Chains A and B, each alone.
Chain A
């Protein structure tokens, strides 16, 4: 059964550095999402992406964040200059159609900013 994959599983970076988190959505899916979960806190929506552009973004998704689909398979989340508070689990998800259709999640990337 096809799955969403994410790399790396764990990323450690220093404050101020740029990080790119990678996701490979399920191949026939058209909608892509990023979520984050700070340890001990709720899962939070970051951004949704469709047809090569951002559909929706939350207040968390400020100018430090960007997303890209550089080729037909990858979907990336870039954090330009990481802060300590960016330390979290980042989940990618994809769905065949948008809105209320089932979102399939990747295993997550744990980002640790030191």
Chain B
């Protein structure tokens, strides 16, 4: 079954500390993976996708097919990174399958 798992509902780190938001997936084909972010009182927006291999706001995510993971990382967290983060996978029918989300809190 196709599934995206974000094991942490809540992650709290201090400003300046490294951040890693975990995402694991279950998918039989070649996955297209995305990270979406939702800041407080704002809409969902795309943060990054694995095919573009870019770094957005200091965040990167590497697709690890062996571990079926697409963890989101940032070396030094900033307070403005506090938000809800969703990992999503696009299946062969072009439907986005979403993880449950991780709430990231950056403590000053």
Residues of A within 8 A of B (CB): 3-4, 35, 41-45, 48, 55-56, 58, 91, 93, 98-100, 102-108
Contacts and interface: CB of A to CB of B under 8 A. Distances in A.
Interface of B: 32, 42-46, 49, 51, 86, 88, 90, 93-101
Contacts of A44: 98
Nearest to B98: A43
Nearest to B97: A45
Contacts of B90: 99-100
A100 B51 CA distance: 9
Smallest CB-CB A-B distances: 7 pairs: A105-B44, A43-B98, A45-B95, A99-B94, A102-B46, A105-B43, A42-B98
A2 to B, nearest CB: 13
A56 B86 contact: no
